[in-house]
């Protein structure tokens, strides 16, 4: 198995060398790191889709696409003289050993929370900071999706003691934000409306933390339901020779409720 894996890795890196070579693919040769970074992000989301669909073959394929983009970036870095694939593997290997002293050094038995706390202490030490010196927004990638960033930032702030006492407090805050949003909408001031919508999102993210729900997972689930229901509307109208633009809102609302009933019935 080890020899087969090494052969497979050698083969794909050889393919990338060929693509980037003088007689390779013009499109691959003109790619920039920023381009590949965007492709990598897209592929990661496809990996998440494959996981949620419980598709082993889909996951295998999407992981391959992610691996290709990673190896492609490594090749570009090697061409620039920055680092090599071996440097990447050596670096992550050393990091994982250092961050798991309970496994590789003193063989301690720790529970999940102790491991998590220990991991964070080691990360802080690597950055040259003490536990109380780390800001909630430290080390967050600037390109991180805002919903994910909000979840992480508010969670980190909560660990510093800045949080509501219970879920009821968060729900009350959502009510306050909704009232402010309604007021902003009635005034018709775009800047204020945008700000209040942002505050509403942030409050909902906090509620997700309290009920132990990932906001991205929740939104993704709702998007899947919306897509399925709207597709049902389109297909139902198509059988009548209509498009959504030709149907009334009452007709589409009725079909929407039918789609919901079908979901409930399984």
User: Domain segments of the chain: what residues?
Assistant: 2-94, 99-134, 138-213, 217-265
Taking only the tens place, the pLDDT of each residue in 87-140 is 999 999 999 999 998 889 887 778 888 888 888 788 878 877 665 565 656 667
Least confident among 20-24, 108-112, 179-183: 108-112
pLDDT of the residue at 159: 85
Q: Which of residues 141 and 182 earns the better pLDDT score? A: 182
- Region 259-263: mean pLDDT is 94
Q: CA–CA separation, 217 vs 232, rounded Å? A: 23
Query: What radius of gyration do the chain's Cα atoms show?
Result: 25
- Tokens 């498009």 sit on residue: 243
Q: Is the pLDDT of residue 77 over 70?
A: yes
Distance linking the first and last C-alpha atoms of the chain: 43
pTM of the shown model: 0.71
- Region 133-159: mean pLDDT is 82
Taking only the tens place, the pLDDT of each residue in 192-205 is 999 999 999 999 99
| Other Cβ atoms within 10 Å of 17 Cβ, number | 13
- Region 51-76: mean pLDDT is 96
Query: Running DSSP on this structure, what letter comes out for residue 165?
Result: S
Work out the widest C-alpha separation in the chain, in whole angstroms.
71
pLDDT of the residue at 130: 62
Which residues, in sequence order, are CB contacts of 94 under 8 Å at separation 6+? none
Q: Is the pLDDT of residue 175 over 80?
A: yes
pLDDT of the residue at 96: 94
The yes-or-no answer to whether 2-94 and 138-213 have a common fold is yes
Which residues, in sequence order, are CB contacts of 97 under 8 Å at separation 6+? 104
Taking only the tens place, the pLDDT of each residue in 213-257 is 999 999 999 999 999 999 999 999 999 999 999 999 999 999 999
Architecture of domain 138-213: Orthogonal Bundle (1.10)
* Cβ contact 150:205 at 8 Å: yes
Q: CA–CA separation, 136 vs 91, rounded Å? A: 26
Q: CA–CA separation, 120 vs 99, rounded Å? A: 9
pLDDT of the residue at 123: 82
Q: What percent of the chain has pLDDT over 70?
A: 95
Cα–Cα distances (Å) from 94 to 75, 98, 101, in that order, read 21, 6, 11
Q: Which of these, 27, 22, 29, 41, lies nearest to 76 by C-alpha position?
A: 29
Please identify, in words, the CATH class of the domain defined by 2-94. Answer: mainly alpha
- Region 6-15: mean pLDDT is 95
Q: CA–CA separation, 215 vs 159, rounded Å? A: 18
Query: Running DSSP on this structure, what letter comes out for residue 82?
Result: S
Least confident among 123-132, 149-158, 165-174, 247-256: 123-132
């Amino acid at each position: 198995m080890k020899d087969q894996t090494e052969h497979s890795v050698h083969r794909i890196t050889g393919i990338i060398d060929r693509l980037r070579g003088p007689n390779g693919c013009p499109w691959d040769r003109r790619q920039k790191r920023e381009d590949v970074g965007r492709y990598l992000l897209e592929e990661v989301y496809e990996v998440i889709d494959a996981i949620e669909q419980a598709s082993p073959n889909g996951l295998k394929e999407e992981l391959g696409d992610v691996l290709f983009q990673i190896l492609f970036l490594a090749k570009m870095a090697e061409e620039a003289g920055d680092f090599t694939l071996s440097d990447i593997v050596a670096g992550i290997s050393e990091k994982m050993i250092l961050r798991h002293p309970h496994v590789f050094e003193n063989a301690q038995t720790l529970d999940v929370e102790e491991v998590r706390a220990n991991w964070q202490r080691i990360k802080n030490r690597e950055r040259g900071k003490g536990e109380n010196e780390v800001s909630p927004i430290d080390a967050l990638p600037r390109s991180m999706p805002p919903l994910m960033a909000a979840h992480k930032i508010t969670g980190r702030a909560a660990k510093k003691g800045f949080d509501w006492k219970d879920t009821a407090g968060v729900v009350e805050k959502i009510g306050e934000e909704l009232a402010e949003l309604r007021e902003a909408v009635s005034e018709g001031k775009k800047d204020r409306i945008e700000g209040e919508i942002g505050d509403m999102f942030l409050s909902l993210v906090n509620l997700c933390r309290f009920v132990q729900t990932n906001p991205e997972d929740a939104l993704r689930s709702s998007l899947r339901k919306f897509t399925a229901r709207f597709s049902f509307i389109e297909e139902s109208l198509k059988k009548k020779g209509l498009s959504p633009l030709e149907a009334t809102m009452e007709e589409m609302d009725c079909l929407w409720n039918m789609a919901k009933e079908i979901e409930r019935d399984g």
